[in-house]
Amino acid sequence: MVLGSRPAVVRGLVALGAVALLATGAAPVHPAANRPGSAAPAKNAVATGYGGAVASVDADATAAGIEILRRGGNAVDAAVATAAALGVSEPYAAGIGGGGYFLHYSAKSHEVHAIDGRETAPRSADRRLFLEHGKPISFADAITSGLAVGAPGTLATWDRALRDWGSRSMGQVLEPAERLARRGFVVDDTFRRMTAVNAKRFSSFPDTARLFLPGGRPPAVGTVLKNPDLAATYAEVGRKGVGAFYRGAIGRDLVRAVRKPPARPADRRLVRPGRLTTADLAKYRALRQKPTHVRYRGRDVYGVAPAAAGGTTVGEALNILRHTDLSSLSEDRYLHRFIEAGRLAFADRGRWVGDPAFERVPTAGLLSPRYADSRACLIKDGRALTSPLAPGDPRHPKPCDGTRAPARAAARAAHEGRNTTHLTVADRWGDIVSYTFSIEQAGGSGITVPGRGFLLNNQLTDFSFAPANPAVHDPNLPGPGKRPRSSMAPTIVLKNGRPDFAIGSPGGATIITTVLQVLIGHVDRGLPLAKAIAAPRASQRNEVATELEPALYDSPLRARLERIGHRFVVNPANYFTLNPEIGAATGVQRLPDGRWLAAAEPVRLGGGSAMVVRPSPAH
């Protein structure tokens, strides 16, 4: 939790190993050619300077974005270059086999724009997509299947962003990633461990095993992993455009892998085929959408709209908190208020947010200050609320909305994989991109498209497999061409109409609480952006217990909050989250003197990488 500059904060940061990595102004380390036997590129969590900034989870990817900025490209060009490189070096989290949400600020028009590049279900899908004999199949069976693969939106997102706001061609911005895939990247400990936990299911697919399990084992730390198939795929898209993917040979190979998963014949794993067709792929469109917007502490906060739940849920929570002076509260009262705002906003998320092409999503109501007031009055300083909490009704807000609703009106959220990625970019003209994208679980479906070098998503598992509560309409059931609900929350904050900062995070449903916590930690508690990103976290998502990172769970704050009824668990380290971590944010910020600050996680997920075009010392 972001807890200000008091001793508890320092203890929490030390426990995360973060403090030593927060020195600002260090010159970024640019990886050279990733020669075999060389060490993995060094990462800096913070950089300040001029000419633009990039922050991502990976040094190679951040360097790709900086390369494009140095060549005269803008923030959109650099964002696509960074994302493409992440598809090489972070293939278990991102790639052209997935989708995401792209948020852009134009310094020329002073407007924020959004692109919905979320995956879509096949046209043949209906609410029974994950049912067999009337019952949901197991989640473990669903994630490693063609059934879970949606039509990917990543390349369509890049194409639309470049056409609308970019200054470089697709081939030009893919060049650094193509080179990285051909020459290879240095395997670090995080990549090796992520490979190890996926090794059993990767071994079911010969093409996946050949790429990520050289010699039948996870690659050793310090070795170089090359992906010539992906290099060739990027080169083909660069020459022919995204039509090669959505209407050409790449797409035909993709659909074949979905409909007849290329599993090892002798493997005992049941890998269900999917329903995606070449027509589904050809009909895919990345959608321009109006971003969400709320006012908070004199700032304009922009996010992405449904089917993403990030913008509405972060926005509602900010509205709930807006009448509380968070800067003056004690640590435990501050944490209490943050937890309760998340609990209330998530209760509404589960009931109301789905794909607006299929559902009547009351977006304006969810972001209404009047509705937030009707929910905020449920929060009492001396008593914790109890989850699952019933949702309110943003269409017809009533004072203390939710107090009389039946408990059964609360719906459990569908599982969301936490292995997503996020990048933030700014350029010398003042444009900003905040972009979150994913292939869902670590390693997605586990299926690599033969000869193409990229993993396929399993994003359709973000749908509810069956109604969470038969008594309440579930807006997140599958449907033909429908987009599953997402918690992605790329965020751009303006002050006096000019860029202040931009943030975002991976982490499944914890994305929302991470973005909210970083934002209020910086704005309300006065933490520098880098320290707000590094500080220990909590996540309440209308569950019985609030997840805490160890630094908070082991602090005296936990006992004080338990005395007023809060329940806590340590955020679990499991198959998809190798460490007890919540989120892994990145951000960029325009400093008062005109410099850019880039900030990334110092520790979580192995730490991120922040770079600027022309570094300058911190003042």
Residue 370 φ then ψ, to 5°: -60, -45
Average pLDDT over residues 368-376: 97
- Examine residue 306 and say whether the peptide bond preceding it is cis (omega within 30 degrees of 0): no
Average pLDDT over every residue of 502-525: 97
**Tell me, what's the pLDDT at 470?**
83
Q: Which pLDDT band holds residue 580 (cuts at 50, 70, 90)?
A: confident
Quote the pLDDT of residue 402.
65
User: For the chain, which domains are there?
Assistant: 7-288+414-615 (3.60.20.40)
Identify the residue whose tokens are 């408990």.
407
Confidence of residue 418 (pLDDT cuts 50, 70, 90): low
Q: What is the pLDDT of residue 89?
A: 97
> How much is the pLDDT for 573?
54
Two tokens at 180?
């990285």
Give the chain's count of helices (H) and strands (E): 20, 20
Whether residue 313 lies in the annotated active site:
no
Contacts of 93 (CB under 8 A, 6+ apart): 57, 86, 419, 420, 421, 438, 439, 442, 506
Residue 534 has pLDDT above 90, yes or no: yes
pTM of the model: 0.92
User: What whole-number distance in Å separates Cα of residue 225 and Cα of residue 568?
Assistant: 40
Reading the block at residue 480, the tokens are 């033909």
Residue 523 clears pLDDT 80, i.e. is over it: yes
339-342-343 Cα angle (round to 5): 85
Q: Which two tokens stand for residue 307?
A: 């089917």
| C-alpha span between 209 and 206 (Å, rounded) | 5
Residue 217, classed as helix, strand or coil, is coil
Return d(Cα 354, Cα 316) in angstroms, integer. 16
Q: Find out whether the peptide bond into 426 is cis, omega within 30 degrees of 0.
A: no
Cβ atoms within 10 Å of 399's Cβ, excluding its own: 8
Angle at 98 between CA 224 and CA 605, to 5 degrees: 50
The whole-number pLDDT of residue 472 equals: 87
pLDDT given for residue 592 in this prediction: 95
pLDDT digits (tens, 9 = 90+) for 262-305: 999 888 899 999 999 999 999 999 999 999 999 999 999 999 99
Q: Is 384 exposed, middle or buried (0-12, 13-18, 19+ CB in 10 A)?
A: buried
- Cis ω for the linkage preceding 347 (within 30 of 0): no
Structure tokens at 123: 């046209």
End-to-end CA distance of the chain: 27
Across 526-561, b (16+ Cβ under 10 Å) vs e yields ebbbbbbbbbbbbbbbbbeebbbbbbbbebebbebb
Mean pLDDT throughout 8-19? 30
Residue closest to 45 by CA, chosen among 437, 597, 618:
597
CB 537 within 8 Å of CB 549: yes
**In which residue are the tokens 């995606």 written?**
276
The answer to whether 422 and 438 are in contact (CB under 8 A) is no
Asked if pLDDT for residue 219 goes beyond 60, the answer is: yes
Check pLDDT > 80 for residue 344: yes
| Residue with tokens 């096949």, as numbered in its chain | 122
Residue 239's SS3 state is helix
Which of 228, 291, 322 shows the shortest CA–CA distance to 493? Answer: 291
Q: Contact 583/577 with Cβ under 8 angstroms?
A: no
DSSP annotation of 528 reads: -
Q: CA-CA distance, 396 to 291, in Å (whole number)?
A: 23
pLDDT digits (tens, 9 = 90+) for 109-168: 999 999 999 999 999 999 999 999 999 999 999 999 999 999 999 999 999 999 999 999
Lowest-confidence segment of 4-8, 333-337, 349-353, 599-603 by average pLDDT: 4-8
Cα pseudo-dihedral 435, 441, 443, 449, rounded to 10: -80
151, β-bridge pairs:
120
Q: Hey, how many other C-beta atoms are within 10 angstroms of the C-beta on 193?
A: 15
Exactly one of 420, 421, 448, 577 is catalytic; name it: 420
Q: How confident is the model at residue 572 (pLDDT cuts 50, 70, 90)?
A: low
Task: Fill in the DSSP letter of residue 576.
Answer: S
399: pLDDT confidence band, cut at 50, 70 and 90? confident
Give me 557's structure tokens. Answer: 């704050």
Phi, psi for 551 (deg, rounded to 5):
-60, -30
1 contact partners, CB below 8 Å, separation of at least 6: 12, 334, 335, 338, 517, 535, 536, 537, 538, 548, 552, 557
C-alpha torsion angle, residues 247, 249, 252, 257 (rounded to 10): -140
* Average per-residue pLDDT for the chain: 90
Q: What is the pLDDT of residues 25-57, one digit of tens each?
A: 333 333 333 343 345 567 899 999 999 999 999
Residue recorded with tokens 């050619």:
33
Answer for the pair 419, 596: CB distance below 8 angstroms, yes or no: no
Output DSSP code: residue 353: -
Nearest to 110 by CA among 430, 379, 569, 415: 430
Q: Residue 346 contacts by C-beta under 8 Å, 6 or more apart in sequence? A: 313, 413, 509, 512, 540, 541, 542
Q: Encoding tokens for residue 479?
A: 């449907």
Task: Give the pLDDT confidence score for residue 618 in this predicted structure.
Answer: 62
The answer, yes or no, to whether residue 13 has pLDDT greater than 70, is: no
